[in-house]
């Protein structure tokens, strides 16, 4: 079996990716500092777990020995984290990411890493990988910096490095993210308790809600595709408004809960998110399999 390493492997996306990789027959190492990730996310999944931080280069490098690919899911993965501690968040996302790239160089591994749709900012048009980008916040800026670093490493050292710009990802194992969880999960948890979910603004904002199992599949396709290095959007290509999300949740739960609308309390709140996924479809053969309703229904059965 080929060895692969998933940094952030006990986290929300990382644990789902570990499970998908094990199902494909890979020898999986989950490398995690257990800040947001939790051991219970890996319960029943046949992986080797190493407690470590991507800021600890020697430990990371040792964990990656013999790996054909490193999947980097470890990050300060939400804009509020940068407000709370900007220097530490940047250390994780920049210095930590460089450590991942350097470990890949030393171990002759390819890299697939998580970027984000946040790099696009507020665009009232289809999000394309080749469009001009101005990051709207510190988190997005750190992820765009990752993309530039990855391109330079790929060019300088002939490493295969693929970035995936995730849209709005939701699914199982998200409880441990708490306040940083996706709106689908936060609204679902509230409505299961008969609480009114809180919507910023008028609820007409749109998101491309993407089920985490589709994201895991995109990561594996990126590794197995053999492409040299590139950036891809990962989403469904279908957007839903927040009001529509509430309607779908009420339908599935058999409830009629009205949301609470409040003024938008944050700067640069995304109004539209509509991904062009044709490039990932053409080059990686990726196509999301889960509709929003299908994804929510599967969460409720897991």
**Domain definitions of the chain by residue range:** 3-168+211-234, 170-207+238-274+290-301
What pLDDT does 202 receive?
96
The one-character DSSP state at 259 is P
Pick the CATH number of 3-168+211-234 from 1.10.260.40, 3.30.230.10, 3.40.50.720, 3.40.720.10: 3.40.50.720
Is 9 in contact with 35 (CB distance < 8 Å)? no
- Predicted confidence (pLDDT) per residue in 270-285, tens digit: 899 999 999 999 999 9
Cα angle 118, 5, 13 (rounded to 5 degrees) comes to 40
Q: What is the pLDDT, as a whole number, of residue 8?
A: 98
| 8-state DSSP, 275 | B
- Given this model, what pLDDT does residue 22 score? 99
DSSP state string for 131-147: S-----SHHHHHHHHHH
At 64-74, the pLDDT tens digits run 999 999 999 99
The tens digit of pLDDT for each residue in 76-112 reads 887 778 878 999 999 999 999 999 999 999 999 999 9
Cα separation, 300 vs 171, in Å, equals 10
pLDDT of residue 82: 83
For residue 57, the Cα-to-chain-centroid distance in whole angstroms is: 23
CATH assignment of 170-207+238-274+290-301, among 3.10.150.10, 3.30.750.24, 3.90.25.10, 3.30.450.20: 3.90.25.10
Report, as ranges of residue numbers, the positions in the chain whose pLDDT lies below 50: none
Q: Is the dihedral of CA 24, 238, 243, 291 positive or negative?
A: negative
């Amino acid at each position: 079996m080929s060895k692969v390493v998933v940094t952030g492997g006990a986290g929300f996306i990382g644990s789902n990716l570990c499970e998908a990789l094990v199902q494909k027959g890979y020898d999986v190492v989950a490398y995690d500092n257990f800040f947001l990730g939790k051991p219970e996310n890996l319960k029943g999944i046949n992986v080797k777990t190493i407690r470590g931080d991507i800021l600890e280069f020697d430990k990371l490098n040792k964990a990656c020995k013999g790996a054909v690919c490193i999947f980097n899911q470890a990050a300060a993965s939400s804009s509020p984290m940068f407000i709370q501690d900007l220097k530490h968040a940047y250390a994780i996302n920049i210095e930590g990411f460089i450590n991942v790239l350097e470990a890949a160089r030393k171990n002759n591994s390819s890299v697939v890493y998580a970027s984000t749709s946040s790099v696009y900012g507020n665009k009232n048009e289809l999000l394309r990988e080749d469009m001009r980008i101005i990051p709207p916040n510190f988190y997005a800026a750190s992820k765009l910096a990752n993309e530039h670093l990855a391109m330079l490493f790929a060019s300088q050292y002939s490493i295969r490095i693929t970035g995936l710009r995730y849209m709005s990802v939701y699914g199982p194992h998200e409880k441990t993210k708490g306040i940083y969880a996706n709106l689908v999960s936060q609204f679902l948890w509230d409505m299961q308790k008969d609480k009114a979910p809180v919507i910023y603004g008028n609820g007409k904002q749109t998101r491309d809600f993407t089920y985490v199992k589709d994201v895991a599949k995109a990561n594996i396709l990126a590794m197995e595709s053999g492409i040299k290095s590139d950036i891809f959007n990962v989403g469904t290509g279908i957007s839903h408004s927040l009001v529509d999300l509430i309607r779908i949740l009420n339908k599935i739960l058999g409830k009629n809960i009205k949301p609470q609308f409040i003024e938008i309390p944050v700067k640069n709140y995304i109004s539209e998110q509509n991904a062009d996924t044709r490039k990932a479809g053409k080059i990686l053969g990726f196509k999301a399999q889960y509709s929003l309703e299908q994804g929510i229904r599967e969460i409720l059965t897991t």
